[in-house]
Structure 1
């Protein structure tokens, strides 16, 4: 009887543990599927695995690009997921609008003359004026492809990692470069630093010296540019610097050898004068962009990342290869160049 009682208590404990585990699982929030995970779980991908004839499968993926390494696939293959990756921030600060067109009709504000004034009864109300320049911005394609072995394409875990860590990253890397420095000549985007998309900060070394500011102190120039945006009623919301220039500022010391932006052992967010700093290799070295991205520009999304998988390319079928293509379609319009300042970080 004692042995039976012990066994009953043991079984009861096991049942309680199973119930608790089930409850914890049900209460846990569902993890957001990564781009690669979405792709390999799509019905089209399953059909591609089963088919014996040539063909292709495509899927548009629209969730936010995140760090897709942790806990997203069952195994890692050397040579598939290694590499250096840039953090993308500029897109998060832009106004983003979906579009179904292949070109964007837009207008750029030239001059706003504000004549608003106190008006007595019976007196003519003053008239303000705004001038615009209309334009059409084509939606551009940014894409690339690679060839992989069919064996890799049939391996869900490796394929998810490959798509996440290479194809998607490669497209968005190029997108950020174009958002900042695209020259506007098709098929390039017209980037933030393209002529006509900004107001030159206009400072020379002599001008800064005349204002009792140092022409070699980068903090002085950036602070002055932020102030100019505020004076123009376009309060800045971001500073964009080249990565090397940011670290030059981060390592700046005072006359006593102390780091101005914080000790090396402390966690220092990239912030200057209360504004977030985007340190990006897309920005040309020794240049700086300061302004209100929310007011200056708009990102038009025609298609988010579209992934295509096909063995129909030339010689793929015979060689047992599969082409993986990642493509994105978008346009950037800068409606208010007055909301942005750009120029040399250390003017001559």
Structure 2
């Protein structure tokens, strides 16, 4: 796939095209004027060439004006965050692909989520938008993805991450008399690997979707890109590590065991002891992951006078317990909880950012006038320190 030109380069190219056509019109006009002064009547061929040159110049001028307006909107609007679907439908290569009378072949666009991106004003997709076509008026419900943000990020160009996983650290450091034998400490590690796995799915749609910018954007954002994130979050938490599954945080975590002989009498007590267990392993926790049902149960707890122990129903409260943020996600099982130092325990390695590919290269697509749209990403999850993660039951469900 050829390197795409920047907006500035396209503007310069359009401007050069306009100047060339303008010079052609000027040359024809000067030639006709010189012949008129000599009493020579312009031929019909000369008039046709002049008409064609003027039409070409006007078309080039219209393109130049449109490009300058887009550049002006960019300077006024600054950086505008765009969804995966918006980045796909506004890609110049895709516009060229979709603008064909009968699109044939395929086109690929990376749609990695980023915070901001310099672009034209939001929604500026030009002639692709047809006034008599509408995108989806009601979007499907979407789960808020939060687990990835807890884990250290990374990238790789390989299909396998190899690393040393820490098993045990025996610290025998002590005061030593002069000339005495120094004590030896032990650090036990084991070889571990995290294979890069692929998450992908596809949909088939009518080829007319290529001309419907809102509809295509909704399909990418609400179905394809969201579907990848949904499967990814489930794998990051609960992947079994077998077959094509990632080794998830829950699978690798250390089982909860109340430390110090302390006894928990409530869900909040259990969470506090999980935090203690992680801290005693010398990994200060930075988050709690639990199901929304369990978080609601914690928030609904009251004292003997019926007053809420956490927050006020009439006010707002950040989801925190014992100073740690609570991540409520349905990817976590009911009555289960994971406490950990997530950024020290694990790291995500992105091998291929989320990519959207459209293709008509299929016999069934051809005869049915369909197009296949595929979303795909590749990543690995390395679990460095299982002791930094504690997983267990809240004891609410028997």
Structure 1-normalised TM-score? 0.83
Answering whether residue 300 of structure 2 is matched by residue 251 of structure 1, we say yes
1:71-117 C-alpha deviation (Å, 9 max, x unpaired): 95489946465111111111111011100111111221100112233
* 2: CA distance, partners of 1:27 / 1:152: 31
Which has the larger share of helix? 2
Structure 2-normalised TM-score? 0.73
CA contact (8 A) 1:73 1:160 kept: no
1:123-175 C-alpha deviation (Å, 9 max, x unpaired): 44432211111122211111111111111122223212321222111100110
1:209-240 C-alpha deviation (Å, 9 max, x unpaired): x73531xx100000011112112211111111
SS of residue matched to 1:159 = helix
Please, what is the CA RMSD of the aligned residues? 2.6
Find 1:106's aligned residue among 155, 159, 163.
163
1:280-300 C-alpha deviation (Å, 9 max, x unpaired): 111111111111001111111
Answering whether residue 108 of structure 2 is matched by residue 58 of structure 1, we say yes
Which has the larger share of strand? 1
Residue 133 of structure 1 corresponds to which residue in structure 2?
190
* 2: CA distance, partners of 1:213 / 1:33: 47
Answering whether residue 254 of structure 2 is matched by residue 199 of structure 1, we say yes
* 1: CA distance, partners of 2:310 / 2:336: 20
Cα drift, residue 271 of structure 1: 0.6
1:1-348, aligned counterparts within 5 Å?
Answer: 26=75, 28-51=77-100, 52=102, 54-64=104-114, 72-73=122-123, 77=134, 79=136, 82-194=139-251, 197-203=252-258, 211-214=262-265, 217-346=266-395
Cα drift, residue 27 of structure 1: 5.7
Larger radius of gyration: 2
Number of equivalences:
315
* 2: CA distance, partners of 1:54 / 1:78: 24
* 2: CA distance, partners of 1:313 / 1:299: 35
* 2: CA distance, partners of 1:230 / 1:223: 11
* 2: CA distance, partners of 1:38 / 1:189: 28
SS of residue matched to 1:92 = helix
Cα drift, residue 268 of structure 1: 1.4
* 1: CA distance, partners of 2:281 / 2:198: 35
* 1: CA distance, partners of 2:209 / 2:355: 20
CA contact (8 A) 1:242 1:281 kept: yes
